[in-house]
Homo-oligomer: A and B are copies of this chain.
Amino acid sequence: MAGVGEARAAPSADHAPLGIICGGGALPFAVADSVLRRGRPVFLLAIDGWADRAAVARYPHAWLGLGQYGRLKRVARAAGCREMVCIGTVGRPSLRALRLDWGGLRVLPQLSGLFRGGDDHLLAGVTRILEAHGFRVLGAHEVAPEIVAREGPLGRMTAPPQARADAARGFALLDAIGPFDVGQAAVVAENRVLAIEAADGTDAMLARIAQMRAERRIQSAAGIGVLVKAPKPGQDRRIDLPAVGPATVAAVGAAGLGGLALRAGGVIVAEPAAVAAAADAAGLFVVGFAAGASEPP
């Protein structure tokens, strides 16, 4: 089984600490642990208001406001970081929440354009600014390849033929909406698109499916239907790959679907063992599909 992530592993011979710009959620720590397991130190640049305070405290770290670009550069350099990963959720900030410092003010002409348009725009802009100042920006899939979805089933269940057809339809739909910098997930059941993610997020979308099912507005039987997740086509995979975890599996089960279809190499599975265990316990499939393939191996 050729893991796409694996093929991209070890892109760096840099043994200095990896700087991890941490947004919200558990992903930054899954990445940090993976990097530490490889023997490389990490330094967390934790975004105030987003990163989990208790979890951050377990690692060497500094806190910063989203607009404190001067502080970011300073502490990253002081910690010896030359390579950076940006990971975790960060909402579009209010200007006050930015807490602009002088370094932030200097890049403001670049920053101010970032907060219009989709999230992709925001993150791509931050990446550009970091690179303009001499940092090398890596993707989570490069520094922690074992947390990226691989081709084939994760866990015991495989996807039945209708689910594979639904997955193919979902991947084609996500490709079609990619240019609009919108969601990276959809739900398809028996060839019908039930929901498309936008600003609401995957969890809210799955909650809607559960509600529509409770209102008998979904005709497909329980256990039919697929959550499909993929990165945007042409997306810079260093930024904001879609992610799933055990909670996603639980939400897919609560929505009465049959399982998850993930674009191999393009979706983060933060805790693969826990995801497989949750899927097996619930009788759900979690299957990675290579781009262009409509059938898993």
Centre residue among A179, A183, A219 by max chain B CB count within 10 A: A219
Q: Are B191 and A195 in contact (CB under 8 A)?
A: no
Q: Are A117 and B192 in contact (CB under 8 A)?
A: yes
The verdict on A199 contacting chain B, using a C-beta distance below 8 Å, is yes
Binds B, one of A2-10, A46-54, A168-176, A240-248: A168-176
Binding site for B on A (CB under 8 A): 91-92, 94, 115-118, 169, 172-173, 176-177, 179-183, 186-187, 190-196, 198-200, 204, 208, 212, 217-219
Q: How far is the CA of A116 from the CA of B183 in the complex (A)?
A: 25
Can you list 13 A-B contacts (CB < 8 A)? A92-B219, A116-B190, A118-B193, A173-B180, A173-B182, A176-B176, A176-B179, A182-B193, A183-B196, A187-B198, A193-B199, A196-B198, A199-B217
| Further contacts, 5 of them, CB under 8 A, given A92-B219, A169-B180, A176-B179 | A173-B180, A187-B198, A193-B198, A196-B196, A199-B218
Residue on B nearest A197 in the bound complex, by CB: B196
